[in-house]
Structure 1
Amino acid sequence: MERLVFEYPATTQLTECSHVGVVGSGDLEIIMVPNDKKLVSVEINTSIDGFADIWKAVLERFFEENAHAMNLKINDFGATPGMVTMRLAQALEVTSSHEYAKR
């Protein structure tokens, strides 16, 4: 089990929380919570050790386009980089749909 922590600058504010996925065989859970730090604070708990560079690359690519101020928690059980990117996009979409539903 490995715990990774990353921070990225944020350019916009996340306004809603979201939770997607489950921790299970080959999958992951993503929890997004807004913060007021102007940072994306990421905590990853993964069952697979030694992939910090891959996690960093996936997250950097995602946050180049989606740098919302948030605390992001990822609980991983061996998901592929493609699955990670899909779940991140899904969690962000959930926050957008919550915001849209309020209008």
Structure 2
Amino acid sequence: MEQMSLSFPATRTVSGKSLAGVVGSGDMEVLFTADQGKSLTVDIITSVDNSKVRWQALFDRIALTGNLPAGHMQIHDFGATPGVARIRIEQVFEEVSHA
């Protein structure tokens, strides 16, 4: 298991909490809690060693959309593909956008 933390400038504020995925599914779980800060902090626990570059690249691509809300995100990854990871992350962002 590898643990890492990433931080990105937030481009918007939202409110609430959201959850996407189920950690026991063999996939991944993403929990997001909004705050009124100026950054998105991401704590990742993953079963895939040496994956910080992959996670950094994924969030860099998402940041290009201008869609990073301020808050704290926890990711519990058990080998999800980058496509599934992006879907789960976008699901929590969508949910808090409508809170």
Q: Structure 2 length as normaliser, TM-score? A: 0.91
| Residues 1:82 and 2:83 aligned together | yes
The superposition leaves residues 39-87 of structure 1 with CA deviations (integer Å, 9 ceiling, x where unpaired) of 0001000011111101100011112221210101100000000000011
How many aligned positions are there? 98
Aligned residue number for residue 68 of structure 1: 69
* 2-structure distance, mates of 1:64, 1:70: 18
3-state SS in 2 of match to 1:15: coil
Across the aligned residues of Structure 1 and Structure 2, the Cα RMSD in angstroms comes to 1.3
Instruction: Quote the Cα distance in structure 1 between the aligned partners of 2:13 and 2:96.
Output: 11
Segments of 5+ residues of structure 1 without an aligned counterpart are none
For residue 75 of structure 1, what is the amino acid of its counterpart? H
Q: Is the aligned partner of 1:30 residue 2:30?
A: yes
Segments of 4+ moved more than 6 angstroms: none
State, as a whole percentage, how many aligned pairs show the same letter: 38
Provide the C-alpha distance between the structure 1 equivalents of 2:80 and 2:7, rounded to a whole number of angstroms.
21
Contact 2:14 2:97 (C-alpha < 8 Å) held by counterparts: no
**Which amino acid counterpart does residue 29 of structure 2 have in structure 1?**
E
2:32/2:71 contact within 8 Å kept: yes
